[in-house]
Every structure is written in C-alpha cells, then in structure tokens.
Amino acid sequence: MDNSVGIVSAQRAQFDTPLLCKSGVVLPRYELVYETYGTLNADRSNAVLICHALSGHHHVAGIYADDPRNIGWWDNLIGSGKPIDTDKFFVIGLNNLGGCHGSTGPSSIDTASGQPYGASFPLVTVEDWVESQSRLADQLGIQQFAAVIGGSLGGMQAMQWSLSYPERVRHVLAIATAPHLTAENIAFNDVARNAILTDPDFYGGNFYRHGVVPTRGLRLARMLGHITYLSDDAMADKFGRSLRSGKLGYSYDIEFEIESYLRYQGDKFAAYFDANTYLLMTKALDYFDPARAFDGNLNRAFAAAQAKFLVVSFTTDWRFAPQRSREIVRALLHNKRDVSYAEISSNHGHDSFLMEDAHYFEVMRNYMNTIAQEFAA
C-alpha cells in the first residue's frame, strides 16, 4: 500500500478519576482505546487529534498485522506524505467514550455489577468527549494540540475543543459539520432511534443479558442514515433504477439495486455495531449546541475560541449543508478569529468528507503544511 503508516496496533488508557458527565451522571472509571501514528517531537508541539463521527473509531490509518484488510477509516488522508503527514505530525485516533470498539461503552462490563452497562451507561455529550480526550492528552503528555480535526460529529468535537480548552488547541479543522443539528436532522436521528427502541430484541437497552441483538432496528437505523449520507445525484449515478434481475418481479423481494445495497449496508453494520452506542451517538449529535448557553447566540459562544480554523463543506452534503458551515464561519468572523472556508464541489453528499478528492486533499494538505511551518520554524 502506498505511503500507508503500515502496521499499527491499538493501545489502552485507563482513567480512575471519576468523570462527571453533562447529564449529571458520574462515571467512576473508564478506558479509552487509541492508536498513534508518527512521532511526538521534542517540544510536544506536533500532536494532532482525530475525532470520529457516528460510526467511527480509533483505527484511523494503517492496517493490523493480523487483519491486513482492515484499513483505517481515514487512511487516504493520513500517512507519510499524505495531507495529514505522519512524517511531520504525531496523529492520535481514539474510540470515544460510549463507543463499541474497545473504549468503555454500553456493551462493556460494569465492574460494579459484573454485567454490561446497557441502559445504565450515561448519555455522554460532545463536551464529555472533549473532557475525556483532554485526559488522554494529559496521559500522553500533550499540553496543546497543533490541530484537532474531525468531520461531521467529529467536527463538533473539534469545535468544542476550542471552546472547552481554548489554550490547548492551535488549529481546528471542522469538516462537513454544523454548529447544531436542524429539526430535520434531529428527526432523522429520532426515526433511527425509534427503529432500535421499538425492536422487541432491544429490551430497554439490556439485550445483552437476553443473548440477543436488536438487529432489525439497527439495520433500519443504518439504512435510513445511509440514505442521508449520500446525495440524490450519487445514488442516481451509482444505482439509478437498475434492477437486479433486469425485470420487475411484482413482489416485495429485493428488486432495485439500491434496495440490495442498502440492505447489505444495514446487515453489515448491524453485525458489528452496538445498538446502545448508536443511540448514544445520535443523542450526542442532537444535543450539541454551543450557542444554547448563550441564548442561542453563536457569536457569543465562539468568543471563547482562540484557535485558527479551517472550515470545509461539500456542495452536495444536505445532511450538513454548506450553509451550516457558513454559520460557523460567520461566528468566527464576528469574533475576528483566523478562519478559512472552502466549499468543495463533490458529488458524494455527506460521505464526501471521507473520500479522496484532489481539491479537498490539496486544501487539507496546504493547511496542514502551514501548521507544520509553525513548529518547523
């Protein structure tokens, strides 16, 4: 593989200081699983944190020795000579608290009860994640990140970093994200949640002890979500009205290619993702709203930020539309913060932020290079 960071392995960090969540619930102890790529420089000034989106995790780049086909989800962007250049930066990816890829979450065993947390796991928020990430940074000896980077829900975390810990982040790269979800966006999340919550195998979130998984709900949730991550054009290009068998079957079986694709995606997802984590992640999306504490005034919310920003949106992203990114840009302009904004022409809807695109990657590369010049100088 070209310029891959190569074989990587996950590490675990243990936290025994209780975390007081936004909800008021206290998590007495937890673990975070993470990966790192590149080398932390002598003055610890080249660290970059990658925040993941709804279904993401800590495996951001490279491959595993025992599973070489498991390539990191942002491997196209991160590696030697890639836009986020691991020859220059020390890159950290983690699985968020509440996740289902190794960090403490609803499917983890609660040592107090010896049972999976299930429904008792707190609803964690973007602020809680930033708090837990800051403790990981403490453990790794990183006082200040050169950049915190994320797309979608990950972009929300990157922005929250600049508000929770203004002095601990020099640059924020907020990609395909929004200052809060719209009613329409919350509505999509709620339909997805309802698919899970009403699945008879959900058992109020405690399905683990029944030895079942709310597969039907989870796959419906994923199918719905997936539609909203694509664009109408991308779906038309990829599937159109193509029929699997070439003719109409007059039945409710899979006929159109798009049906086949969505069901496949739903099945694949339901086979590994935790239903409680899905619920929790969508709630974190819904709750994120830094302006809320300022009577809805985003300008005032961003007054705390000191970081320089790169805001990136994609023309066909209707789930996190360019207009939403512009709201972030306006609040930063109001506060006279350094900000650049690029609106990338792309056909792939919200998923564009994960895909290789020459212009998008050039923007990312150029921005990261200016950051690298700060500590190379």
Partner 1 sequence: MSNDYSQLGQLRPDFAAIAAWLPQGASVLDLGCGDGSLLRYLRETRGVRGYGVEISDADVAACIANNVNVIQNDLESGLADFESNSFDFVILSQTLQATRHTEPLMQEMLRVGREGIVSFPNFGYWKNRVNILRGNMPVSKDLPYQWYDTPNVHLCTLHDFETFCRKYRMLILDRRVMAGGSAVNMLPNLLGSTAVYRFRRAA
Residue of 42, 33, 19 whose CA lies nearest to 90: 42
CA separation (Å) from 25 to 129, 133, 163? 14, 18, 22
Catalytic residue among 75, 274, 289, 317: 317
Please enumerate in sequence order all residues whose Cβ is within 8 A of that of 165, keeping only pairs 6 or more positions apart, or say none: 130, 134
Binding range to partner 1, per CB under 8 A, among 183-191, 192-200, 244-252, 356-364: 356-364
Q: Does 363 bind partner 1 (CB under 8 A)?
A: yes
Residue of 196, 134, 141 whose CA lies nearest to 167: 134
Strand, helix or coil for residue 256 = strand
Q: Which of 148, 339, 349, 352 binds partner 1 (CB under 8 A)?
A: 339
Under a CB-based contact definition with an 8 Å cutoff, are residues 315 and 344 in contact? yes
Q: Does 273 bind partner 1 (CB under 8 A)?
A: no
Determine how many CB atoms are found less than 10 A away from the CB of residue 235: 16
Catalytic residue among 58, 199, 350, 357: 350
Is residue 317 annotated as part of the catalytic site, yes or no?
yes
Q: Does 330 bind partner 1 (CB under 8 A)?
A: yes
Site size with partner 1, rule: CB under 8 A: 23
Q: How many whole angstroms from its chain centre is CA 282?
A: 11
| Structure-token pair, residue 328 | 């972030």
Q: Does 321 bind partner 1 (CB under 8 A)?
A: no
Under a CB-based contact definition with an 8 Å cutoff, are residues 218 and 275 in contact? yes
Q: Does 329 bind partner 1 (CB under 8 A)?
A: yes
169 or 311: CB nearest partner 1: 311
Q: Does 300 bind partner 1 (CB under 8 A)?
A: no
Under a CB-based contact definition with an 8 Å cutoff, are residues 70 and 59 in contact? yes
CA separation (Å) from 68 to 5, 62, 81, 260? 12, 9, 21, 27
Q: Does 229 bind partner 1 (CB under 8 A)?
A: no
12 or 359: CB nearest partner 1: 359
Q: Which of 293, 356, 366, 376 binds partner 1 (CB under 8 A)?
A: 366
CA separation for the pair 261, 239 (Å, rounded)? 9
Q: Does 130 bind partner 1 (CB under 8 A)?
A: no
Q: Which of 167, 184, 232, 338 binds partner 1 (CB under 8 A)?
A: 338
Is residue 152 annotated as part of the catalytic site, yes or no?
yes
For residue 83, the minimal CB distance to partner 1 (Å) is 11
Q: Which of 340, 347, 355, 375 binds partner 1 (CB under 8 A)?
A: 340
Under a CB-based contact definition with an 8 Å cutoff, are residues 346 and 357 in contact? yes
For residue 50, the minimal CB distance to partner 1 (Å) is 20
| Structure-token pair, residue 155 | 């972009």
Catalytic residue among 103, 108, 152, 162: 152
Give counts: helices (H), strands (E), the chain. 10, 14
| Structure-token pair, residue 153 | 């829900």
Q: Which of 77, 126, 342, 354 binds partner 1 (CB under 8 A)?
A: 342
| Structure-token pair, residue 123 | 């609803």
Is residue 66 annotated as part of the catalytic site, yes or no?
no
164 or 177: CB nearest partner 1: 177
Q: Which residues are catalytic?
A: 152, 317, 350
Residues of the shown chain interacting with partner 1 in the complex, contacts defined by CB under 8 A: 310, 326, 329-330, 333-334, 336, 338-345, 359, 362-363, 366-367, 369-370, 373
